[in-house]
Structure 1
Amino acid sequence: MDVELLILVAMGLSVAMAGAWGVQRATGLSGWIDAIWSLAVGLGGITATLFANGEFGRRMAILVLIAAWAARLASHIGSRTHGGGEDPRYAKFIEEWGNSAGWRLFLFLQIQALAAFILVLAVYLAAANDTPFPGLLDGFAILVAIVALAGEAISDGQLARFRHMPTARTEVCEVGLWGYSRHPNYFFEWLFWCAWPLFALTASAWTWAALLAPTLMYWLLVHVSGIPPLEEHMLRSRGDKFRALQKRVNAFFPGPRRHGELP
């Protein structure tokens, strides 16, 4: 394991999130935080991949996948933020923090830098795998990553089109994949990070650390900064309509609707 490389990547992620803090303070738009975070993870993953000592073919596949993930997610969040309103999740945090919002947000974003490092570590461990490529797990990993990228892009596109409908301010989204999961974009984001242990796992004990990436992403999305604050916002803004949606549509994993058919 190249410890010096990982230390440099960790420092870069910390600086990037300090920059994200400065952008949020200057613009008042917290959506730029997630766009910068996505780019930072992508650049960290690309750097780790380029300097890892793994098998060349695997490293190139990994580089393409992590670059595609970062470019798509950052551009999507950036376009949504440009000319849009404040992210309700961050807005709630900042409101609760009051006069201490500035320094507490800075610390919060440094925690995000640590989370980003755990994700980049999984990418590095995958790229450092020097077993012959392609193997069975490599094929499965590529399939999982492509399905995840496509699913998240489709989910985001469906939600974006719904938001342009006249009824979007008062109704809940149940179009397409949103009829089978209340947060299909989060599900596919988590699924993407499930690909990296598949790329990484060998007999080496270090490679098992790649499992931290999907574990962390699931915890963050389902229990911390993803679903809980967003659903709290939806309950405040949509009330009984969203409560009814909670009863008939799974929160995270796509599955059969429990009551009623698709509208």
Structure 2
Amino acid sequence: MNGATQMLCLAIVMTVVMTIGWDWQRRHGNAGVVDVLWAAGLGVAALLTAATGQGAMTPRILLALMGGAWSLRLAAHLWRRVRGEAEDGRYRYLRAHWNGSQLKFFLFFQAQAFLVLLFALPFVAVAANPHDAVGVWTAAGVLIWVLGVTLETVADRQLADFRSDPSHHGKTCRVGWWRYSRHPNYFFEWLHWFSYVALAVGSPIGWLAWSGPLVMYVFLRWISGVPYTEAQALRTRGEAYRAYQRSTPMFIPWFPRPETSRNSP
């Protein structure tokens, strides 16, 4: 298949999947399932483009393995949270802000289907790469993927362990990577998208792969990641989280600044 046909097939699949997810949300009162389906949908995208792409076998096999494994890990992690916890505060806020409108939630779920298509563009670029030899860029892509996914998994586990302790309720995690970044899981997620840029080197549409890290950064930094997460943290933790903001880098991990009072000269 060419890229346009791949995207059309994926659009049909994701429209159906997100409609089913919207109905599940309506019955269970938990919109967090949309994150699970978004992550799983990208795994479907990686497998579909790898199986039907017109490029060489090596980049397509790596795409299937890397995109599929990344998707499975993230979707399973998110599903454990959705299944075992109350609806995320971000979605509770939307539910209240929209007065429980199911039409707005339906449109929201379908917008996530569109985002799967947008984030699948790097996969289309990799699947069209005609170069079969394993070279420097292939090795770089695998190394970046291993680093990003491994450290994102570590950061997710550190946060999950912190939240599982009842004595930490209402407190801010500063354990492990969370000491050096307020959103290390987002940072390593963003880093992992550069692996597909490396795998797409030599593809006639390799430039499309840059949409992954670029669009992911925009969404994490200004749209759906950091702004919503930090707004919810400020609503629930107030000044304690403001102190965390003053001392800890927002995105790229770095050494924390000495904490000072807001009223300090």
- With normalisation by structure 1, the TM-score equals 0.93
Q: Deviations over 1:107-135 (max 9, x none)?
A: 12222111111211211211210113212
User: What residue number does 2:33 align with?
Assistant: 32
- 1:16-31, aligned counterparts within 5 Å? 16-31=17-32
Q: Distance in 2 between matches of 1:54 and 1:13?
A: 24
Gaps of 5+ in 2: 260-265
> Equivalent residue for 2:219?
220
**1:246 corresponds to:** 245
Equivalent residue, structure 2, for 1:102: 102
Alignment RMSD (CA, Å): 1.4
CA contact (8 A) 1:9 1:48 kept: no
Match of 1:52 in 2: 53
d(CA) in 2 for partners of 1:227, 1:168: 22
Residues 130 and 202, structure 2, Cα contact 8 Å, conserved in 1: no
Deviation per residue, 1:51-82 (Å, 9 max, x gap): 11212122111111111111111111111111
Match for residue 87 of structure 1? 88
In the alignment, the residues of structure 2 paired with residue 133 and residue 18 of structure 1 have an alpha-carbon distance, to the nearest angstrom, of 41
Aligned position for 1:9: 10
Aligned partners of 1:13 and 1:41 also within 8 Å: no
Q: In structure 2, do the counterparts of structure 1 residues 231 and 2 end up closer, same or farther at CA, with 3 Å as the change threshold?
A: closer
Letter of the 2:154 counterpart: I
Aligned mates of 1:108, 1:133 — CA distance in 2: 42
Work out whether residues 3 and 124 of structure 2, in 8 Å CA contact, stay in contact via their aligned partners in 1. no
Is the 1:152–1:188 contact (alpha carbons within 8 Å) kept by the matching residues of 2? yes
Q: For 1:154-175, what per-residue CA distance to the aligned partner results, in whole angstroms no more than 9, with x for missing partners?
A: 0110001101223321321000
- 8 Å contact from structure 2 (residues 57, 132) kept in 1: no
| Distance apart, 1:203 and its partner CA | 6.5
Distance 1:170 1:90 in 2: 18
Aligned-partner Cα distance in 1 for 2:151–2:63 = 19
Give 2:90's aligned amino acid.
R
Q: Secondary structure at the match of 1:82?
A: helix
Q: Counterpart of 2:68? A: 67
- Deviation track 1:173-194 (CA, whole Å, cap 9, x = no partner) reads 0000000010111111111112
CA drift of 1:143 comes to 0.8
For 2:262, the equivalent position in structure 1 comes to none
Deviates more, 1:16-25 or 1:244-253: 16-25
Q: Once the 2 structures are TM-superposed, how far is the Cα of residue 246 of structure 1 from its aligned partner?
A: 0.3
- CA drift of 1:146 comes to 0.8
Taking the aligned partners of 1:216 and 1:22, their CA distance within structure 2 comes to 28
Structure 2 CA distance for aligned equivalents of residues 174 and 109 of structure 1: 32
Aligned residue for 1:208?
207
Equivalence for 2:143 = 143
- 3-state SS of the aligned residue for 2:143? helix
Asked if 1:258 corresponds to 2:244, the answer is no
What is the distance in 2 between the residues matched to 1:95 and 1:198? 43
Q: Is the contact made by 2:40 and 2:75 (CA closer than 8 Å) also made in structure 1?
A: yes
Supply the distance in 2 between the matched residues of 1:4 and 1:108 (Cα, whole angstroms). Answer: 25
**SS of 1:98's equivalent?**
coil
- Supply the AA of the counterpart residue of 2:226: I
CA distance in 2, matches of 1:5, 1:67: 17
Q: Could you tell me how far 1:142 is from its partner in structure 2?
A: 0.9
Looking at structure 2, the residues matched to 153 and 160 of structure 1 have their Cα atoms a distance apart, in angstroms, of: 10
Q: What amino acid does structure 2 have at the position aligned with 1:236?
A: R
The percent of aligned pairs where both chains have the same amino acid is: 33
Amino acid at match of 2:76: S
Q: Which 4+ stretches in 1 moved above 6 angstroms?
A: none
2:141·2:195 contact (CA, 8 Å) conserved in 1? Answer: yes
In 2: Cα distance, 1:132 partner to 1:38 partner: 28
